[in-house]
Amino acid sequence: MELVGEEKRIRALFSELRLENESVGPRFATVWNRAELGTVARRRPFRLSLVYSMALIACVAIFSFALVIRNWRVSQNPIAQVKDDAVTPGATAIQIPTSEGREKVVKQESGINRRLRVQKLAARRQAELIARKAARDAAAISKWQSPTSALLHSPSDEVFTSLPQLDESANELKSFLPKTPQ
Amino acid sequence: MSIDRQIDGMNIAELKAELEKLHSSSFGWALSCCRRDPDLAEEVLQTVYLKILEGKAVYRVESSIKTWLFSVIRKTAISEYRKRLLLFKRFTSDEEKAERSSLTAGPAANFERSEEQSRFQQALAELPGRQREALHLVFYEDISLREAADVMGISIGSARTHYERGKKHLRESLGQSEIVYGIGWRGKENPGAV
């Protein structure tokens, strides 16, 4: 009996809820038309912080990409670059099949070799210069003397460094003694 | 998009007419599935209509249109609610959350509710999802437990269990508020029981 009464009460409360829902509900035509247009209105608030963070991430990505590209270019071998330029399927590659073209390539290669040789020679000279300078420095350091080292010496240094003879003092003393008659 | 398109033997115009008839109930059900967030409920309903128009949700004549539609609404509401919850957690500060919750409560709060209705809605919101759904389908939509089970995608036995437990919890919640507010709940129907 009580349960039936409660169910009725719950039903009444749900009816009241239905009335409330109907008052806040959108019209069918509005929702249907929006759906027909295929525009699901996602009313997400515009977040400036999100935009800032995305822009920051994009900047960092671009900067790091630029750095990587730059390093990669620097690390590339210049010979390979030149060869690539010669071999690339561009205008030069099409002109190469003639004998003049081949000569040009040979000349280019010999020029590169000469440049390399000069570079190697310069590097060797540089290394020799550095070695010579190091040897000179080492010699200078070994000969160096302190400017105050002279102050450490005195005329009486001989007394401390040499040993007297056994009878030397007695003989010297005799010369100072008055001559008394014996 | 062609309105005259056939969807599984049913003309879209006929389907539209049926949907229009059920629109009010659909919105109520969407509200219940979206924890009474009217914006989300409207978005869910719009997504459901879009799914129907695009042929992603197809009505087959195995069940009633109402059962099928409510089932689609329920599934869509769950996925939309999850998405929104995830976004809400990620990108919303505490102040924005407070502001948003006050905005969400806005239209419903503007409706002049009785004190009992407010307590009832609060008690309903505190119920577990399945129990709330079972009670809504039976009492609000006035459909059988079997149909409610179909909508919820569970067996009739489970639906009955959720329904009974929901009623019990609701009774307890309203009974507690009866003590707090000093308003008769059982006493109105059966004074001797109090």
Q: Write down the ipTM of this complex.
A: 0.73
Angle separating helix axes A2-24 and B115-126, nearest 10 degrees: 100
Q: Indicate which of B16, B56, B104, B189 best probes the interface with A, i.e. most A CBs within 10 Å of its own CB.
A: B189
- Residues in chain A where the model's pLDDT stays below 50: 1, 42-43, 82, 86-87, 90-95
Report the C-alpha gap between A13 and B118 in whole angstroms: 10
Predicted local confidence at residue A147, as pLDDT: 86
Of B141, B83, B88, B71, which Cα lies nearest the Cα of A11? B141
Average pLDDT, chain B: 78
Backbone torsions φ then ψ of A44, nearest 5 degrees: -90, 130
Q: Do B120 and A13 touch (CB under 8 A)?
A: yes
Angle separating helix axes B145-152 and B156-181, nearest 10 degrees: 100
Residue A126 lies in a domain: yes
Of the two residues A47 and B2, the one the predictor is more confident about is: A47
Residue A94 lies in a domain: yes
Average pLDDT over residues B122-150: 91
Q: Do A14 and B139 touch (CB under 8 A)?
A: yes
3 state DSSP class of A116: helix
Of the two residues B166 and B96, the one the predictor is more confident about is: B166
- Tokens for A119? 């570079």
CA nearest B51 in A: which residue?
A35
Predicted local confidence at residue A91, as pLDDT: 46
Asked if residue B117 lies in contact with residue B139, where contact means CB atoms within 8 angstroms, the answer is: no
Task: Name every chain B residue with its beta carbon within 8 A of the beta carbon of A52.
Answer: none
pLDDT reading at B28 higher than 80: yes
Report the C-alpha gap between A57 and B193 in whole angstroms: 67
Of the two residues B98 and B118, the one the predictor is more confident about is: B118
pLDDT reading at B158 higher than 90: yes
pLDDT digits (tens, 9 = 90+) for A81-116: 545 554 455 444 444 556 666 677 777 778 888 889
Confidence of residue B103 (pLDDT cuts 50, 70, 90): very low
CA nearest A5 in B: which residue?
B189
Backbone torsions φ then ψ of B7, nearest 5 degrees: -120, 105
Confidence of residue B13 (pLDDT cuts 50, 70, 90): confident
Q: Indicate which of A11, A14, A48 best probes the interface with B, i.e. most B CBs within 10 Å of its own CB.
A: A14
Average pLDDT over residues B67-83: 89
**Length of chain A, in residues:** 182
Residue A125 lies in a domain: yes
Q: Provide the residue range defining the domain that includes A132.
A: 78-141
CA nearest A12 in B: which residue?
B139
Strand partners, B10: B7
Confidence of residue B22 (pLDDT cuts 50, 70, 90): very high
Of B49, B27, B64, B152, which Cα lies nearest the Cα of A39? B49
Predicted local confidence at residue B23, as pLDDT: 92
Q: Does B28 touch chain A (CB under 8 A)?
A: yes
- Provide the pairing of β-strand B6-7 with B10-11: antiparallel
Q: Do A26 and B1 touch (CB under 8 A)?
A: no
Backbone torsions φ then ψ of A74, nearest 5 degrees: -65, -40
Average pLDDT over residues B138-161: 92
Of the two residues B166 and A96, the one the predictor is more confident about is: B166
DSSP B61: T
CB within 8 Å of chain A, chain B residues 55-84: none
Q: Does B42 touch chain A (CB under 8 A)?
A: yes
pLDDT reading at B6 higher than 50: no
Q: Do B45 and A20 touch (CB under 8 A)?
A: no
Confidence of residue B73 (pLDDT cuts 50, 70, 90): very high
CB within 8 Å of chain B, chain A residues 60-99: none
Sign of CA dihedral B104, B109, B113, B118: positive
Compute the half-sphere exposure of residue A8: CA atoms within 13 Å on the CB side of its CA.
Answer: 10
Q: Do B117 and A36 touch (CB under 8 A)?
A: no
Residue A175 lies in a domain: no
Average pLDDT over residues B95-105: 52
- Name the percent of chain A lying above pLDDT 70: 68
Amino acid making up residue B140: Y
Predicted local confidence at residue B135, as pLDDT: 92
Residue A53 lies in a domain: no
Predicted local confidence at residue B160, as pLDDT: 94
Taking CA atoms, B154 is separated from B125, B137, B141, B147, B157, in Å, by: 21, 14, 18, 10, 8
Average pLDDT over residues B5-25: 78
Q: What residue ranges define each of the domains in chain B, with the CATH number in brackets? A: 1-111 (no CATH), 112-188 (1.10.10.10)
Q: Do A5 and B186 touch (CB under 8 A)?
A: yes
3 state DSSP class of B10: strand
Structural domain tally of chain A? Answer: 1
Report the C-alpha gap between B93 and B52 in whole angstroms: 36
Out of A36, A40, A50, whose CB is closest to B1? A36
Q: Does B103 touch chain A (CB under 8 A)?
A: no
pLDDT digits (tens, 9 = 90+) for B49-66: 988 888 888 888 778 888
Average pLDDT over residues B21-38: 89
3 state DSSP class of A60: helix
Of A42, A22, A163, which Cα lies nearest the Cα of B31? A22
Cβ neighbors of B69 (< 8 A, separation 6 or more) are B19, B22, B26, B48, B59
CB within 8 Å of chain B, chain A residues 18-47: 18, 20-26, 28, 31-32, 34-36, 38, 40-45, 47
pLDDT digits (tens, 9 = 90+) for B130-142: 999 999 999 999 8
Q: Do A35 and B87 touch (CB under 8 A)?
A: no
Predicted local confidence at residue B96, as pLDDT: 57
Residue A150 lies in a domain: no
Q: Do B189 and A5 touch (CB under 8 A)?
A: yes
Report the C-alpha gap between B42 and B27 in whole angstroms: 7
Residue A129 lies in a domain: yes
